[in-house]
Structure 1
Amino acid sequence: MEAVLPFNSQNFSADLSIDSQPVSAKDLTRHILRIGFPANALENEYALGATLFTNTTLQGAVNSIIASEQIDALFVHPDQLTPALQPLKTLAKAQAIPLVVYSAKYDQQCRELALKNGVDDYFYGSITAAYLKRLEFITKLKNYKNKRGNKPYVKQAMDDAPKIKLWALKRTFDILVSGTALLFLSPIMLLVALLIKLESKGPVFYISKRAGSGYKIFDFYKFRSMRIGADAELAKLAHLNQYSEQTDGSVFFKLKNDPRVSRLGQVLRDTSLDELPQLINVLKGDMSLVGNRPLPLYEAEKLTKDQIAWRFLAPAGITGLWQVTKRGKENMSEEERIQLDMEYAMNNSFLYDMKIFVGTFPALIQKQRV
């Protein structure tokens, strides 16, 4: 984990120390401008790894971009969401610089105002390495839009009101179904948890960091189906990767007849019971019932380039297009899986989700152990 140290951003040319190693401004890999924040407000200012945060004004930010200074993101105070922000928005769009409204604590009104003003993101709290990854994704996505002439994304052609209604309908469906499912399936989940405990020592749940919609990183829940320490064995089992024979430098990693899976774990995987804890992710809002599969970070980092990054525009989901069409089949290529994710990202709708959701049930029982 990168170090997080207090930093006085009033003087960009000043040296700072990270892990007792002096780092000067010229050595920094990221430079983020904070616009409209009090110069003496240090509690929310950080040097994170080799990232420097500098306080400035709207005009100062405009001048920095025009002068071709290294600017990797713009954090704007909510008070700056006025018509005076437009010149900076225009420059940020042209230069593919993420424009983010930031507040120290979550504020629903601030979030709504940010979305209304068409900025790239709203963020609150401490800046983390995970959020810096999201900024990289936003940058690549904006670059891609600029390269394709900023042609409208299929769903962006819709008016704001229909989009909000569509999201509300999808979210309502997710809450109702996941909440009801958790209620009725709780006896089965308790039984599975007991069986896992009886079979081997270790936690009941497997929790990992995943990248979901917009490259937002969250804790992803599954019932543990492998022996303890299975993640450390990935390198030794690379030759069993389902995708290794199809693509050099494969993005995805899925094993055939994974030797790390326990006897109970194989039953859970074959019946998809290991996926049930993800209903908690859906209820929390990390995921949807239908969407593109949230990826482990080592896979997600390989997919944030060019048009492939568009797959992260779609909601993260328990089930999705590639699962219902190709799940459990060995002949699924890496290119096919990426294309199916892209197709869903470009064409998802509530009715499309319902079609995929219904098609999920026949796919729950895997025919092959992959």
Structure 2
Amino acid sequence: MIFDKPLHLPGQKRKPLTTVISLPSDSLMRFAMFIGHSFPQSHLYLTQDEEMVTATAIPVAKKILKERLNNNVTPTFIICNMEGGESLLPGLLELLQDHKHYRKIPFFVYAESLDTVQKETLSKLGGIDDIITAKTTPEEFSTKLQFARKFRLLSAKTQMEEKQQKRMLTKQKVDYVLKRGFDITASGLILLALSPVFLVIAAAIKIDSRGPIFYISKRAGNRYKVFNFYKFRTMVADADKRVKDLSHLNQYDVNNANGGPVFFKLSNDPRVTKLGAFLRNSSIDELPQLLNVLLGDMSLVGNRPLPLYEAASLTTDNYAGRFLAPAGITGLWQIKKRGQKEMSVDERINLDKDYAEKTSFLYDMWILTNTPKALIQKDNV
């Protein structure tokens, strides 16, 4: 048993010394803690498997709490008598709020009467679930206790979710800075180094077939943002006008009768020029997209930006997730399925959604290291 001086305020009469009832430190018994002296009906607040531990002073209560925590035991609830010791109460509440094992403990204040100033002071402290008086019945206390437990569990869950969200946002910001910095540096250097090659390819395209050097089309990228998409032209000049005529050759197994998603890819596309086939199979036709990367429309790694007619068919909740990722030159689909004839729409979209969920700078680096072996296609697609 431990003895301590009772709580008192200056000018108040001291009460006789009160015994601090405490279980052995190695006990794992459930217990409720009472801090102070007068607690009418306190024994009626306990369940059959709970012991009552009474501390005459807040410093003693702190000591008991820490001793019991060493045995992984915390009180089921705490009631603190407000008769004296108000100045020490904030320190106790701070201890309970700052320690993860104590935050879920319901905390009540006992007072026979409180004036307006005291009520305002308590309301500003925080961490107090309710006020108990001599008139509070065991049934009323049980209701207050159940509500306090539910509220604290919900509060702890909310705080945990907020911390996780903050960590996620911080990670996303770091990933964005690293990703964007790498995109600008890499695309700028590659464009500068390959500028002579661009001139040779441009001349070859003009000699090979009539039409512009670059193929420019509207594409939908991150969050359906529409931008001008650049590639070296690999098809005949009127290629877009022949899409409907060749729809029966689409390599994707798509039945769009119910308005489902639409992808259009042809194996050995007859619209591709001789030089265009080489540019495609070697992925050289993709190089002008480095300008899109430099401009911020795309990233080196991401989900392929889609023609607007394809993006328009992917606006439902099941498909829209793939647009949460940035548009990219290479990505998960390219290193896993590029050049394969047999591929369903769902398989393609699932790969895009998988990347969108896992996207990070380190994941991008992994995809980039696996991109070279996917550059040389086995089929003209």
* Among candidates 261, 271, 281, match of residue 270 of structure 1: 281
- Identify if the C-alpha distance between structure 1 residues 360 and 290 changes in structure 2 by more than 3 Å, giving closer, same or farther: same
Deviation, structure 1 residue 250: 5.2
Aligned residue number for residue 298 of structure 1: 309
Q: Does 1:190 align with 2:199?
A: yes
After TM superposition, the score normalised by the length of structure 1 is: 0.56
Deviations 1:10-29 (A, max 9, x none): xxxxxxxxxxxxxxxxxxxx
Deviation, structure 1 residue 257: 1.1
Q: Does 1:238 align with 2:247?
A: yes
Q: Does 1:340 align with 2:348?
A: no
Within a 5 Å distance, the mapping from 1:120-139 to structure 2 comes to none
Aligned residue number for residue 313 of structure 1: 324
Contact 1:246 1:333 in 2 (8 A): no
Aligned residue number for residue 324 of structure 1: 335
Output the CA distance in 2 between the equivalents of 1:205 and 1:241. Answer: 24
After TM superposition, the score normalised by the length of structure 2 is: 0.55
- Identify if the C-alpha distance between structure 1 residues 176 and 315 changes in structure 2 by more than 3 Å, giving closer, same or farther: same
Output the CA distance in 1 between the equivalents of 2:166 and 2:338. Answer: 32
Contact 1:251 1:302 in 2 (8 A): yes
Letter in 2 for 1:333: S
- Identify if the C-alpha distance between structure 1 residues 308 and 250 changes in structure 2 by more than 3 Å, giving closer, same or farther: closer
The 3-state SS of whatever aligns with 1:323 is helix
Deviations 1:297-346 (A, max 9, x none): 00001011023101101010000001100000112221111100010011
Output the CA distance in 2 between the equivalents of 1:301 and 1:156. Answer: 31
Output the CA distance in 2 between the equivalents of 1:214 and 1:250. Answer: 17
**Aligned Cα root-mean-square deviation (Å):** 1.7
Aligned residue number for residue 353 of structure 1: 364
Contact 1:243 1:250 in 2 (8 A): no
* Among candidates 166, 170, 178, match of residue 175 of structure 2: 166
Deviation, structure 1 residue 164: 1.6
Output the CA distance in 2 between the equivalents of 1:190 and 1:272. Answer: 17
Aligned residue number for residue 257 of structure 1: 268
Deviation, structure 1 residue 157: 6.5
Out of 203-212 and 181-190, give the one that drifted further.
Answer: 181-190
Say which one has the larger Rg.
Answer: 2
Letter in 2 for 1:282: V
Output the CA distance in 1 between the equivalents of 2:199 and 2:165. Answer: 43
Deviation, structure 1 residue 247: 7.1
- Identify if the C-alpha distance between structure 1 residues 367 and 247 changes in structure 2 by more than 3 Å, giving closer, same or farther: farther
Q: Does 1:208 align with 2:255?
A: no
Deviations 1:26-64 (A, max 9, x none): xxxxxxxxxxxxxxxxxxxxxxxxxxxxxxxxxxxxxxx
Contact 1:212 1:315 in 2 (8 A): yes
Within a 5 Å distance, the mapping from 1:20-99 to structure 2 comes to none
- Aligned-pair identity (%): 60
Aligned residue number for residue 8 of structure 1: none
Deviation, structure 1 residue 349: 0.7
Deviation, structure 1 residue 201: 2.1
Output the CA distance in 1 between the equivalents of 2:321 and 2:166. Answer: 16
Deviations 1:125-157 (A, max 9, x none): xxxxxxxxxxxxxxxxxxxxxxxxxxx9xx967
**Paired residues, number:** 217
- Identify if the C-alpha distance between structure 1 residues 224 and 254 changes in structure 2 by more than 3 Å, giving closer, same or farther: same
Deviations 1:180-219 (A, max 9, x none): 1111111111111000111122210000000000110000
Contact 1:225 1:264 in 2 (8 A): yes
Deviation, structure 1 residue 161: 3.0
* Among candidates 160, 172, 185, match of residue 176 of structure 1: 185
* Structure 1: stretches of 5+ with no match in the other structure: 1-151
Output the CA distance in 2 between the equivalents of 1:327 and 1:246. Answer: 22
